[in-house]
């Protein structure tokens, strides 16, 4: 069976493409790994894509952790290939990069796609726009060859931004969405749906049922069950405002600007927050949900979820995913979680 697993991004097909998470200069201590692969990742980060594992056809393509906020990996578009750093985002469905025709300030700080230099480029007149929590973009749909490691999608629909707002100096060029096709803003076929249809891999799944959230054995959220989203494009744990405020109050965090700050010494005394999923507990300790800013001040990673829904819903971002290995199987609409080592 051909399927896809995400740890960062791990794709299984006739030839496995594995994209492990690699930490680079973050603002908090790197969690130490204890196996040979982790040591190799630290010592030889840029030779990984050239490694061949005998008998397994394994190719490794690393992601980079940018300040514990998001993970980016390299893809190429066009013929000859033009390289871009994109966020692999389970919370969205569209692939897009900046166009050379984009004159927004955000585009000027990123690599832009030069369509006239690609012999396989095919334009369209279809326009679309996407609104994210941190910014928005307007773009047009085009077709070209897209490569992720050894995976190649020819005549792949993707977006070219012609206007961007909110992404100035962000350390990524674009976004590669892993969500369901029917949630796409552009209505273009996502790359993994296309690869699945062509028999290369299956699709990832990202949503699951969350039973409850506890702290000190007390249920603090999801008392009657709720929905949750595992989102590689989010750096925080997000939930309804009143419940997030309750968590901030319990741990003693105080608001300052857009963040809630707390004494750094609290890491040693605060309890874990436990997410119970299908009867299994997944604790998130304070060392994971408390981070340091550039001035050395500590803040929490709990954030109000702005989208209003009739049912309680949560987003488990990188704070959660750094702790648990996640297998996304959208072919069977399920997800597997295991403690990361």
Q: Kindly report the backbone phi and psi dihedral angles of residue 18, in degrees, each rounded to the nearest multiple of 5, phi listed first.
A: -115, 125
DSSP state of 267: G
Helix (H, G, I), strand (E, B) or coil at 298: strand
State yes or no: is 155 an active-site residue: no
Phi-psi domain of 333 (left: phi exceeds 0; alpha: psi -120 through 50; beta: other): left
Give per-residue burial for 297-334: e unless 16+ CB within 10 Å, then b.
Answer: ebbbbbbebeeeeeebbbbbbbbbbbbbbbbbbbbeee
State yes or no: is 231 an active-site residue: yes
CB count, 10 Å around CB of 209? 11
Annotated catalytic residue within 94, 173, 231, 329: 231
CB count, 10 Å around CB of 132? 15
Contact 123, 162 (CB under 8 A): no
Annotated catalytic residue within 68, 89, 94, 193: 89
- What tokens appear for 151 in the block? 């995976």
Active site residue ranges: 89, 231
């Amino acid at each position: 069976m051909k399927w896809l697993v995400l740890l960062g991004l791990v794709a299984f097909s006739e030839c496995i493409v594995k994209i492990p998470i690699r930490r680079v200069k973050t603002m908090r201590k790197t969690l130490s790994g204890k196996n040979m692969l982790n040591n190799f990742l630290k010592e030889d980060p840029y030779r990984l894509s050239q490694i061949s594992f005998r008998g397994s056809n394994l190719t490794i393509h690393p992601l980079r952790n940018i300040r514990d906020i998001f993970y980016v990996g390299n893809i190429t578009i066009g013929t000859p290939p033009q390289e871009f750093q994109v966020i692999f985002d389970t919370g969205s469905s569209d692939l897009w990069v900046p166009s050379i025709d984009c004159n927004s300030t955000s585009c000027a700080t990123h690599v832009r796609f030069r369509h006239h230099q690609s012999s396989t480029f095919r334009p369209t007149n279809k326009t679309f726009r996407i609104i994210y929590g941190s910014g928005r973009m307007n773009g047009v749909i085009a077709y070209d060859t897209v490569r992720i490691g050894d995976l190649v999608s020819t005549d792949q629909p993707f977006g070219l931004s012609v206007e961007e707002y909110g992404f100035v100096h962000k350390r990524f060029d674009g976004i590669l969405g892993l969500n369901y096709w029917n949630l796409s803003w552009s209505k273009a076929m996502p790359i993994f749906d296309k690869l699945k249809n062509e028999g290369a891999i299956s699709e990832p799944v990202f949503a699951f049922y969350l039973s409850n959230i506890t702290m000190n054995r007390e249920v603090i959220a999801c008392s009657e069950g709720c929905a949750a989203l595992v989102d590689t494009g989010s750096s925080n744990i997000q939930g309804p405002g009143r419940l997030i405020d309750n968590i901030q109050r319990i741990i003693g965090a105080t608001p300052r600007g857009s963040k809630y700050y707390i004494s750094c010494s609290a890491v040693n005394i605060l309890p874990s927050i436990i997410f119970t999923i299908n009867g299994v507990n997944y604790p998130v300790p304070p060392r994971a949900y408390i981070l340091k800013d550039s001035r050395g001040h500590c803040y929490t990673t709990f954030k109000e979820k702005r989208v209003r829904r009739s049912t309680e819903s949560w987003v488990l971002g990188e704070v959660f995913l750094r702790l648990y290995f996640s297998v996304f199987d959208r072919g069977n609409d399920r997800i597997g979680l295991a403690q990361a080592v």
